[in-house]
């Protein structure tokens, strides 16, 4: 066999001989270093971009979580109770006004005390039924019964008897004072008119025990007595002339 030729074929790639020129070598190495530096900078830019995108994604996710959490109270289920009258079929919502945002302030207590006195001691035949209903809505069962016994036409002391259809009793507030957490006195003047004649004004004081309903209140009652104010005792006297 013929020996394999070690001669390089024509057209084959041949590496260029490395120059011994120091300037050329220095330029070559600088070019290599510049190329590596560009690659490093590109890698660093890619890393920074990746972290920026990750941070932005995290912020968006956190914002979404906060938004969902802020909507949570809106999804709270609040039980609502309705009462149906078995006779008429009328539907009436009931409310629980004990504590919370509906708790009575001193101003509200003063207001309801005076409203109670107005409807109980004031009198006008045209408004008598409404006054009677309001007093009942603001009284406990025992006080309701005492009031009904006093107001009925068979009682000679009833304003229906003393003043009649054409008579009236107008009140003017003087003062309200609290004797205890659930006991108050309301002073007022009472001007009565009977048969067209104006009677002498009387100075009155009402001593009132009161509380607030601990249970539900009907929707119709809440229009008149939203805080569930209840009179537990009532006594009225005429004050001595000064």
165 and 125 in contact (C-beta within 8 Å)? yes
Return the higher-pLDDT residue of 238 and 92.
Answer: 238
pLDDT at residue 11, as a whole number: 53
Alpha helices, DSSP H, located in 76-123: 106-121
pLDDT at residue 202, as a whole number: 94
pLDDT at residue 136, as a whole number: 94
pLDDT at residue 102, as a whole number: 46
pLDDT at residue 17, as a whole number: 60
Residue with tokens 């001989």: 17
Segment (H or E) for 211: strand 202-212
Whether 18 shows a pLDDT value over 60: the answer reads: no
84 bridge partner residues: 91
pLDDT at residue 182, as a whole number: 94
Whether 90 shows a pLDDT value over 90: the answer reads: no
Per-residue burial over 196-209, b if 16 or more Cβ lie within 10 Å, else e, is: eeeeeeeebbbebb
pLDDT at residue 234, as a whole number: 98
Return the higher-pLDDT residue of 201 and 99.
Answer: 201
At 120, is the pLDDT very low, low, confident or very high (cuts 50, 70, 90)?
very high
Per-residue burial over 88-124, b if 16 or more Cβ lie within 10 Å, else e, is: eeeeeeebebeeeebebeeeebbebbbbbbbbbbbbb
Report CA torsion sign: 171, 177, 183, 185: negative
pLDDT at residue 61, as a whole number: 73
pLDDT at residue 30, as a whole number: 65
**What is the token pair recorded at 226?**
């939203």
For the chain, give the mean pLDDT: 80
Most confident of 61-70, 86-95, 144-153: 144-153
pTM: 0.59
pLDDT at residue 35, as a whole number: 62
Phi, psi torsion values for 115, nearest 5 degrees: -60, -40
Residue with tokens 């001595």: 240
CB neighbours (10 Å) of residue 133? 14
Burial of 187 from C-beta contacts in 10 A (0-12 / 13-18 / 19+): middle
> How far, rounded to the nearest angstrom, does the alpha carbon of residue 79 sit from its chain's CA centroid?
15
**What is the token pair recorded at 168?**
């009236």
Return the higher-pLDDT residue of 173 and 64.
Answer: 173
Q: What is the mean pLDDT of residues 62-89?
A: 62
pLDDT in tens, 20-57: 666 666 666 666 566 666 676 777 777 777 777 877 77
37 and 43 in contact (C-beta within 8 Å)? no
pLDDT in tens, 128-184: 999 999 999 999 999 999 999 999 999 999 999 999 999 999 999 999 999 999 999
Whether 10 shows a pLDDT value over 60: the answer reads: no
224 and 132 in contact (C-beta within 8 Å)? no
């Amino acid at each position: 066999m013929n020996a394999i030729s070690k001669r390089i074929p024509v057209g084959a790639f041949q590496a260029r001989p490395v120059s011994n020129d120091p300037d050329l070598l220095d330029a070559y190495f600088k070019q290599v270093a510049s190329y590596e530096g560009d690659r490093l900078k590109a890698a660093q830019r890619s890393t920074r971009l990746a972290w920026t995108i990750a941070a932005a994604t995290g912020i968006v996710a956190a914002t979404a979580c906060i938004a969902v959490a802020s909507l949570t109270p809106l999804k709270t289920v609040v039980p609502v109770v309705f009462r149906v009258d078995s006779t008429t079929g009328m539907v009436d919502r009931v409310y629980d006004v004990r504590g919370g945002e509906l708790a009575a302030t001193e101003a509200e207590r003063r207001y309801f005390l005076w409203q109670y006195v107005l409807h109980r001691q004031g009198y006008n035949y045209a408004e008598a039924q409404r006054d009677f209903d309001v007093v009942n809505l603001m009284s406990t069962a025992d006080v309701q019964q005492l009031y009904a016994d006093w107001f009925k036409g068979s009682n000679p002391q009833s304003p229906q008897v003393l003043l009649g259809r054409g008579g009236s009793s107008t009140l003017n507030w003087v003062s309200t004072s609290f004797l205890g957490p659930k006991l108050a006195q309301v002073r007022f003047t009472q001007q009565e008119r009977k048969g067209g004649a104006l009677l002498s004004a009387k100075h009155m004081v009402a001593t009132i025990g009161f509380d607030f309903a601990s249970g539900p209140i009907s929707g119709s009652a809440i229009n008149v007595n939203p805080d569930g104010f209840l009179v537990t005792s009532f006594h009225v006297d005429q004050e001595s002339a000064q």
